[in-house]
């Protein structure tokens, strides 16, 4: 189910049906990342530069190389900070466009199925903000774990795999079922959803391609939810047949 869903989502990324939502998602993601980078730069300028000036007042000639090294480290730090912001930005953008993405997938790949319902605006905003906060806290934790040998890179994949898998699957499921049922279905297929989240985290780790993470993740989880729902239906059918046979015998 996981690889079928990932392949189906990747195959649709650049299709004509996805073009409008593709451009909106990419544009908003880029704008949010640029705004985040300027925010990081201003934060560095306000907090780090005064400390450097105090340590090396006036940057005399002998400190030129130190200043260059400090600038290099600052650039690397800003780049790492921006990389860690991609996951929260992905969460925010996905919350804005999940229903648009889901509608395209459902209309083009499942035309015979009943369409899902867009989430009401207030619950959608609440869920998006909650997800954004959880992703930010989790990635701060992952940042600290980067300092622990043997855990660092794995922490990024485990944290984002779990969170992205959980939230994107529940978003897709809630188009067809109440929130409590969506959470119960996600818990029942927790291993499958987590493995799908790891695929999304791997997508997120690829430079430039990760700008399309909201589009890929939302489309993939729509496909995965469809597959899980079909499995649930097939498992329920034998029970209905057995019940019907029992009723027929007693009658």
Residue 125 is predicted with a pLDDT of: 76
| Segments of the chain with pLDDT less than 70 | 37, 40-41, 43-88, 90-91, 94-95, 134-135, 138-139, 141-150, 152, 237-251
pLDDT at 13: 82
Q: What CA–CA distance (Å, rounded) separates 122 from 66?
A: 51
Nearest by Cα to 229 from 163, 167, 181 = 181
- The token pair at 28 is 């908003």
What long-range pairs does 4-9 form, CB within 8 A, spacing at least 24? 4/223, 4/227, 5/196, 5/220, 5/221, 5/223, 5/224, 5/227, 6/196, 6/199, 6/220, 8/109, 8/219, 8/220, 8/223, 9/105, 9/216, 9/217, 9/219, 9/220, 9/222, 9/223
User: pTM higher than 0.85, yes or no?
Assistant: no
Residue among 214, 115, 127 nearest 164 (CA): 214
């Amino acid at each position: 189910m996981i690889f079928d869903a990932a392949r189906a989502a990747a195959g649709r990324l650049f299709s004509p049906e996805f073009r409008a939502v593709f451009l909106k998602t990419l544009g908003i993601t880029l704008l949010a990342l640029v705004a985040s980078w300027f925010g990081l730069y201003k934060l560095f300028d306000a907090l780090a530069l005064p400390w450097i000036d105090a340590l090396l007042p006036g940057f005399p000639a002998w400190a030129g190389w130190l200043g260059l090294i400090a600038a290099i480290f600052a650039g690397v730090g800003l780049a790492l900070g921006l990389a860690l912001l991609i996951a929260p930005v992905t969460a925010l953008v996905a919350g804005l466009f999940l229903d648009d993405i889901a509608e395209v997938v459902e209309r083009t790949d499942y035309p015979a199925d009943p369409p899902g319902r867009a989430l009401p605006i207030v619950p959608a905003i609440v869920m998006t903000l909650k997800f954004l906060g959880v992703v930010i806290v989790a990635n701060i934790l992952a940042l600290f774990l980067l300092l622990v040998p043997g855990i660092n890179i794995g922490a990024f994949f485990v944290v984002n795999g779990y969170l992205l898998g959980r939230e994107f699957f529940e978003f897709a499921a809630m188009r067809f079922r109440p929130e409590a049922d969506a959470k119960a279905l996600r818990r029942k297929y927790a291993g499958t959803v987590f493995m799908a989240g790891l695929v999304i985290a791997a997508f997120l780790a690829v430079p430039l391609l990760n700008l399309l993470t909201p589009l890929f993740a939302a489309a993939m989880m729509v496909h995965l939810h469809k597959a899980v729902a079909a499995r649930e239906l097939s498992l329920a059918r034998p029970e209905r047949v057995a019940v019907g046979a029992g009723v027929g015998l007693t009658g």
